[in-house]
Structure 1
């Protein structure tokens, strides 16, 4: 992937899920393009590995569960109030459980990580962005935010809701210099847990998964799309949902 040297010089970007997968690739790309990255992840060891690879003081690591509001506070505090951009990338799957089988614990956890954490971080950074008259936010939705056949009930609901939150944020703050967009990945090579725990779901979804899902993307390919939406290169893009799915969404 081509790196645009200096594209994010002076930027301070919060990246959630920065310890692995798309979040890690995004953090490394932004660092390579000049940003200071406040990277957060639930795994301290993964953040340590990221810091070792990045080898720069422009990475500020904050370990913790971003669905915990106290962790959101620590992340914003570590950014020292000067957040120019936010990439809400952290997410978890739901074992592909259909509505009749999803447990309350799974539902609550998935919605808390995939949606409530996104709302809380967005809410936390908006006042300073509005005061400054500039800011960019990118939320990671999913192919499951565009259709009903890509995941279980909790994950599908959470990713549809992320798109709604993205569009609402874009609408309310467009006149304040703040842009908010979403990326909707399809199959992507990451370490996210995505195991079928429902025989019925496997039977119902298998015919679609086996015939419709294109070649998986790399995390770096998703990071490129996220970085573009965070940058001034997409200055006229607001409230968009960008599928990065090798054409899955058009099938």
Structure 2
């Protein structure tokens, strides 16, 4: 009787905490490990929703998404692709049978899924910040040249968003000849440097009287971020905006 009591005491010491609830066979152990891996896989299954939530929280609304995609915003494509790959890894992991070898493969697949998941989140932050903040390029709107030759009036609007607070947008109006070249020794008709508001936006309306000097074909309106590309034909996203208006 005493020996049986010692054996029972020894058995209880060898049992892990919560021994009555722990699996007692190798297959049970593998099944429990597989269940925990499946829980990770279910988390990765929501990668696309999580990435979309991060982008929305950073100000990437639906209308901005279409603009960003049209401008070939690569971070959005990379974030979406990485999120999809994370979901694929989670589905594959859930389909693996919880055996010893299966758990090893599931761990490898989930490792890849976590890498894709973290990549998607990281790139989503970059993409949302890039797309939602604009690029600071100014736009010329409502350009009009009205009135008779003796009393012409030029008017236009300048708009820009995503302008850095320390930056500015310079606007010039110059007279050009038929070869689209500035007339020599002719000062600018209009010259202004615009600063953005606290949101990084610029909205400016210009209106001025305009008399045509000799040999003048028209005027060129030039709006550019200070220090940016000055070529009107440049394909750079930070290039200037130009408008040509011919005298009638």
TM-score scaled by structure 1? 0.23
Q: Which protein has greater RCO, CA pairs closer than 8 Å, 6+ apart?
A: 1
Higher normalized strand content (fraction of residues): 2
TM-score scaled by structure 2? 0.23
| Bigger radius of gyration among the two | 2
